[in-house]
Amino acid sequence: MSVYRTRPVFKHTQSVHEIKPGVIRLGEFYKDMGVEIEDDDGAILKLIQYMDGTRTVPELFRLLKETYDHIRLDEVEAAVYELHNLGFLYDYSALERSSLTDLERHRFKANLDYFSFYSTFQSSPWTMQEKLKSAHVTIIGIGGFGSSLLFHLGGLGVTQVKVVDFDTVDLSNLNRQMLFNEADIGKLKIDVAKDFMARFYSDMKVETVHKQILSVEDAASVIQGTDLVILAADQPLFLLQRWINKACVNLQTPFVVGGINVISGFLLTVSPLETGCIDCLHIQQSERYPDYVQSVSNILRFDNQIPNSAIVSNLMIICGMISSEIFRYFTGVGPLVSKGTMINIDFMTLEKEKAIDLSQRHAACPTCGSCNEEHSVIHVFEELGIAQNI
Ligand SMILES: [Zn+2]
Q: How confident is the model at residue 384 (pLDDT cuts 50, 70, 90)?
A: low
Q: What percent of the chain has pLDDT over 70?
A: 95
In tens, the pLDDT along 270-314 reads 999 999 999 999 999 999 998 988 888 888 777 667 788 999 999
Q: How close is the Cα of 31 to the center of ligand 1, in Å?
A: 38
What mean pLDDT is predicted for residues 193-212? Answer: 97
Helix boundaries (H) for the chain: 43-50, 57-65, 73-85, 102-107, 109-117, 125-133, 144-156, 189-200, 216-223, 239-251, 278-288, 292-302, 312-331, 376-387
Q: Tell me the C-alpha distance between 139 and 162, whole Å.
A: 6
Those residues with Cβ within 8 angstroms of residue 166's Cβ, 6 or more apart along the chain or in another chain: 210, 211, 212
pLDDT for 174: 96
Provide the sign of the torsion angle of the four alpha carbons 202, 204, 205, 210, taken in this order. Answer: negative
Q: How close is the Cα of 361 to the center of ligand 1, in Å?
A: 6
In tens, the pLDDT along 127-168 reads 999 999 999 999 999 999 999 999 999 999 999 999 999 999
Q: How close is the Cα of 109 to the center of ligand 1, in Å?
A: 41
The CATH 3.90.930.60 portion of the chain extends over: 3-94
Q: How close is the Cα of 308 to the center of ligand 1, in Å?
A: 29
Angle between helices 312-331 and 125-133 (to 10 degrees): 110
Q: How close is the Cα of 369 to the center of ligand 1, in Å?
A: 6
Q: How close is the Cα of 152 to the center of ligand 1, in Å?
A: 29
By the 10 Å C-beta count (0-12 exposed, 13-18 middle, 19+ buried), 389 is classed as exposed
Contacts 24+ apart (CB under 8 A), 367-373: 367/245, 367/246, 367/249, 367/277, 367/278, 367/279, 367/280, 368/249, 368/272, 368/273, 368/276, 368/277, 368/279, 368/280, 369/280
Helix (H) / strand (E) containing 354 = strand 352-357
Q: How close is the Cα of 267 to the center of ligand 1, in Å?
A: 17
pLDDT for 140: 98
Q: Which amino acid, residue 249?
A: V
Mean pLDDT of the chain: 93
Q: How close is the Cα of 360 to the center of ligand 1, in Å?
A: 9
In tens, the pLDDT along 217-226 reads 999 999 999 9
Fold of the domain built from segment(s) 134-387: Rossmann fold (3.40.50)
Q: How close is the Cα of 79 to the center of ligand 1, in Å?
A: 49
pLDDT for 304: 65
Contacts 24+ apart (CB under 8 A), 62-68: 67/43, 68/41, 68/43
Q: Assign domain 3-94 to its CATH architecture.
A: Alpha-Beta Complex (3.90)
Q: How close is the Cα of 287 to the center of ligand 1, in Å?
A: 14
Q: Which amino acid, residue 219?
A: A
The CATH 3.40.50.720 portion of the chain extends over: 134-387
Q: How confident is the model at residue 378 (pLDDT cuts 50, 70, 90)?
A: confident
Q: How close is the Cα of 271 to the center of ligand 1, in Å?
A: 10
What mean pLDDT is predicted for residues 203-222? Answer: 97
In tens, the pLDDT along 323-343 reads 999 999 999 999 999 999 999
DSSP 390: -
In tens, the pLDDT along 45-81 reads 999 999 999 999 999 999 999 999 999 999 999 999 9
pLDDT for 29: 77
